[in-house]
């Protein structure tokens, strides 16, 4: 059976007096890891939203304007 360096679980989490630095390092690592997973997804979402908006604007500018109904012609009044 393997020998353990720590007497118990409390000693393991205390890390021989270096627990603050060890666990802060783990915490920092997981924060950076989460940021590295989140950032590309967020940028992709923003890029797709930008491209969708640009495509919609471009389609609107290229399409012909809607046809307007012809205004009724006015005839000059006989007294004028």
Query: Which positions ≥6 away from 6 have C-beta within 8 Å?
Result: 12
Tell me: the pLDDT tens digits for 25-67? 999 999 999 999 999 999 999 999 999 999 999 999 887 766 7
Structure tokens at 25: 């390092």
List, as one string, the DSSP characters of 48-64: HHHHHHHHHHHHHHHSP
Given a contact cutoff of 8 angstroms between Cβ atoms, the answer to whether 1 and 7 are in contact is no
DSSP 78: T
How much is the pTM? 0.56
What tokens were used for 56?
A: 């919609």
């Amino acid at each position: 059976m393997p020998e353990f360096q720590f007497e118990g679980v409390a000693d393991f989490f205390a890390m021989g007096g270096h627990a603050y630095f060890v666990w802060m390092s783990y915490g920092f690592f997981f924060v950076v890891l989460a940021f590295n997973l989140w950032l590309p997804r967020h940028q992709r979402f923003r890029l797709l939203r930008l491209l969708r908006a640009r495509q919609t604007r471009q389609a609107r500018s290229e399409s012909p304007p809607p046809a307007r109904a012809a205004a009724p012609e006015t005839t000059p009044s006989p007294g004028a």
